[in-house]
Homo-oligomer: A and B are copies of this chain.
């Protein structure tokens, strides 16, 4: 029925007004070279003719897409979706579009995504790498072609770029210190894969606080796994098997903390009376469990905003040599029920 709706172009407008396409182009872009009068006239006609700019043609010509690529492990997780939300917030207000892909913590997929974004000529990329990612050639593509790249949270040391990280060390340090202040002496730590810096830092923050307090940490009290739901249970089981005496557990994320708490309850162990538990990340659920879980708040939305700001700044400025910075975002300790020793002493 309806034919293929020929699109109006600047040439159609030009012809209609008996002027040149260049003038139309400039007028529509508010180029000051064009007089107020013609500009108005052109815009009016453009509207009437149902003109819609062909962003593709423009991008093709100018080599600027105003598109930012975002690669995250999983969209559907509170921290990441908060960051994305922050990125989108800034990007949108600066006239950028945001394309998002999730790697599912799969290295092959991450590689493919990077290549696709690279070919799609994104103006810049914001990345948080997957668990499996140990080689970085697919990411080096971007700096090699001078395409701005910003990392957040799960960053890559081997690549020079702006980085937004959470103060994992400090957060973990304060968590541990808090546990110690509550009287804990034999504290276990359930951490994530240490090839990811964030978990390494959390471990180090933990160790530092222990050391400062003059407490020694048995190797067997430190367990690393992938911090999924079951891993909390598995870790606790391991500790119990070895008959470890512990009075507190610092889990590197809330998911593990929760699953540990549930399992410990099943074993008849009371939280926080018998064992103090803390998590990390402030997942929405951590506030409403029983007991509510003490944790560390990471400013996801803000991190996204910062990442986008740095990226866009780098895209916009044409400085060849950028002074790369690593922004360490402050964390906030949220003391809730799971780590507050009831007055029993």
Contacts and interface: CB of A to CB of B under 8 A. Distances in A.
Interface of A: 1-2, 5, 52-57, 59-60, 65, 67, 74-78, 81-82, 84-85, 88-89, 92, 97-102, 109, 113, 116, 118-121, 145-146, 258, 262, 283-285, 287-290, 300-301, 320
Contact of A56 (B60, B89, B284): B60
Contacts of A145: 5
Contacts of A59: 56
A285 B254 CA distance: 12
A1 B146 CA distance: 12
Q: List the 9 closest A-B pairs by CB distance, nearest first.
A: A290-B290, A285-B285, A76-B85, A81-B81, A76-B81, A56-B60, A75-B85, A60-B60, A288-B289
Given A2-B146, A288-B288, A289-B290, 12 more contacts: A5-B145, A54-B60, A55-B119, A56-B60, A77-B81, A81-B81, A84-B100, A85-B102, A88-B100, A100-B100, A285-B287, A289-B289
A295 to B, nearest CB: 13
Nearest to A93: B109
Contacts of A81: 75-77, 81
Contact of A97 (B77, B109, B116, B320): B116
Contact of A52 (B85, B102, B119): B119
A52 to B, nearest CB: 5
15 contacts: A5-B145, A57-B60, A75-B75, A75-B81, A75-B88, A76-B82, A76-B84, A76-B300, A76-B301, A77-B81, A78-B78, A81-B81, A97-B120, A98-B100, A285-B289
A262 B287 CA distance: 12
A70 B118 CA distance: 21
Contacts of A287: 285
A75 B301 CA distance: 11
Contacts of A56: 56, 59-60, 65, 120-121
Contacts of A290: 289-290
Counting chain B CB atoms within 10 Å of each CB, which of A1, A119, A288 scores highest?
A: A288
A288 to B, nearest CB: 5
A282 B56 CA distance: 41
A81 to B, nearest CB: 4
A285 B292 CA distance: 11
Given A145-B5, A288-B289, A289-B290, A121 B54 contact: yes
Contacts of A5: 145-146
A82 B75 CA distance: 8
A307 B120 CA distance: 24
A101 B88 contact: yes
A65 to B, nearest CB: 7
A256 to B, nearest CB: 13
Contacts of A60: 54, 56-57, 60
Contacts of A288: 258, 262, 285, 288-289
A302 B229 CA distance: 22
Contacts of A57: 60
Nearest to A262: B288
B102 A67 contact: no
B121 A55 contact: yes
A123 to B, nearest CB: 12
